[in-house]
Amino acid sequence: MTDSQMPGFHKLPMSEKLKEIAKMTGLTEDEVKALANTGGLPSDVADRMIENVVGGLTMPLGIATNFRINGKDYLVPMALEEPSVVAGASKAAKIAREKGGFTVTNTGPVMIGQIQIVNVPQPEKAKADILGRKADILKKANEQDPMLVSLGGGAKDLNAKVLATITGPMVVAELIVNTGDAMGANAVNTMAEAVAPMIEEIAHGDALLKIISNLADRRLVRASAVFEKDAMGGEGVVDGVVNAYAFADADPYRCATHNKGIMNGVVAVGIACGQDIRALEAGAHSYASKTGRYKPLTTWEKDAEGNLVGKLEMPMAVGLVGGAARTHPAARAAIKILGAKTAIELAEVMAAVGLAQNFAALRALASEGIQKGHMKLHSRNVAVSAGATGELIDVVAKRMVEEKKIRFDRAKELVEELSKNR
Ligand code: MEV
């Protein structure tokens, strides 16, 4: 490939785009076939979701079992490429069940839309004037989405602040919007753009950015669960998990991985249910840093009986109306499996899965270590990457586990040896 400029490429039909890319990059027929398969997503839908579509990329969809959340049972769809995650969540949910499962609450589906005003001659006065016109600004915002308003949502409040920035002071107005069953980016951005000229006039400045904030700290979910000490491996393991949490609380290097483990669960359910997982990640990590220090999204402590108590608090901006949750047939089917009827219910399940996932990782790390279970499950991936197909995948994987050599080179040797004998 010598030139990535491709004038007219965007106008080609999807199959022609793929042919063109295959020619330029030397894709084999099998590689073209792999890309052309859009899985559960019809190719015409895929072609309209993003730009320059050449195909699809499917991922395994697993179902985490045993979840009991706010007294109700759930089968939780999870889409991801990493072994151990679905098994870990299911095992954690099984242990949590013994003490009633997960309890989750939420602060409602409230998002923030920011309108940045620059070149403001009197920022403090502008801030006061903006707040003085709150009713007019909210009215204008709500005119943009009568449907949302009729369902009880819409712009509910307005904040204004003056920021000292590297380019000088600026005024920022913030719309506080109840987005109902939508993730809300479209509704909030439309409202922010609609009220910007009014705010510009009030502040005697220039409106620049008009956009949702992904630090969704008014859309929090709080999950908690008790894990019975004997069911999780004894009091030593309980102490181990508490110490693992203390490590994350004290050290951002560990904390990043601690929170990554939580997001393994949250994002996997998010992908399965057609959510904007970039927004979820942005919300999670910015919330974790809100105090100025990067902190764990969970806390772990021992109760009076020696059992482990876990709590999670994080933003969870998810929706059931709009986006891939509606347009992707497989995501729609996953939401049906889950049985979530509202965005809040989906958010609460995702919080429980995040807590379960963190428990699973910390329990393993504080006892037998993560690699034993993980590598056993990973051995099948290694076998496939070494060329094993069909029944040979499990045979090669089993041999590597028995030999405690779960490595690509050994898998290759085994594939060659066992293929000959067949
Ligand atoms: C791996 O995907 C996730 C873990 O690293 C999380 C953790 O260390 O807490 C196991």
- Mean of pLDDT values over 222-241: 97
Pocket of ligand 1 (CB under 6 A): 82, 257-258, 260-261, 264, 361-362, 365, 370
For the CA of 362, the nearest atom of ligand 1: 9
Per-residue pLDDT tens digits for 370-386: 777 777 778 888 999 99
Would you state the pLDDT for residue 107? Answer: 98
Given CATH 3.90.770.10, say whether it is the number of domain 61-107+220-367. Answer: yes
Catalytic sites, residue numbers: 82, 260, 276, 374
pLDDT surpasses 80 at 219: yes
Q: Name which residue sits closest to atom 9 of ligand 1, judged by CA.
A: 258
Per-residue pLDDT tens digits for 8-33: 999 999 999 999 999 999 999 999 99
Q: Which of 147-151, 214-218, 383-387 has the lowest mean pLDDT?
A: 383-387
pLDDT surpasses 70 at 1: no
**Model pTM score:** 0.92
pLDDT band at 121, cuts 50/70/90? Answer: very high
Per-residue pLDDT tens digits for 388-419: 999 999 999 999 988 988 899 999 999 999 98
Q: Name which residue sits closest to atom 2 of ligand 1, judged by CA.
A: 261
Q: How far is the CA of 368 from the centre of ligand 1 (A)?
A: 14
- Compare 141 and 323 and report the one with higher pLDDT: 141
Would you state the pLDDT for residue 154? Answer: 98
Q: How far is the CA of 260 from the centre of ligand 1 (A)?
A: 6
Would you state the pLDDT for residue 370? Answer: 73
Instruction: Tell me the CATH number of domain 373-420, given options 1.20.1070, 1.20.120, 1.10.287, 1.10.8.
Output: 1.10.8
- Mean of pLDDT values over 116-126: 98
Would you state the pLDDT for residue 322? Answer: 86
The best mutation among 81, 258, 260, 353 to test binding of ligand 1, ranked by most ligand atoms within 8 Å of the C-beta, falls on 260
Q: How far is the CA of 245 from the centre of ligand 1 (A)?
A: 12
Task: Look up the CATH number of domain 110-212.
Answer: 3.30.70.420
Q: How far is the CA of 292 from the centre of ligand 1 (A)?
A: 23
Q: Name which residue sits closest to atom 4 of ligand 1, judged by CA.
A: 261
Q: Name which residue sits closest to atom 10 of ligand 1, judged by CA.
A: 361
Q: How far is the CA of 254 from the centre of ligand 1 (A)?
A: 10
For the CA of 254, the nearest atom of ligand 1: 8
Residues in the chain: 422
Q: Name which residue sits closest to atom 6 of ligand 1, judged by CA.
A: 261
Would you state the pLDDT for residue 419? Answer: 87
pLDDT band at 343, cuts 50/70/90? Answer: very high
Cα–Cα distance, 205 to 202 (Å, whole number)? 8
Segments making up each domain of the chain, as ranges: 10-49, 61-107+220-367, 110-212, 373-420
For the CA of 248, the nearest atom of ligand 1: 9
Averaged confidence pLDDT in the chain: 96
Per-residue pLDDT tens digits for 26-55: 999 999 999 999 988 999 999 999 999 999
Q: How far is the CA of 367 from the centre of ligand 1 (A)?
A: 14
Q: Name which residue sits closest to atom 1 of ligand 1, judged by CA.
A: 261
pLDDT surpasses 70 at 75: yes
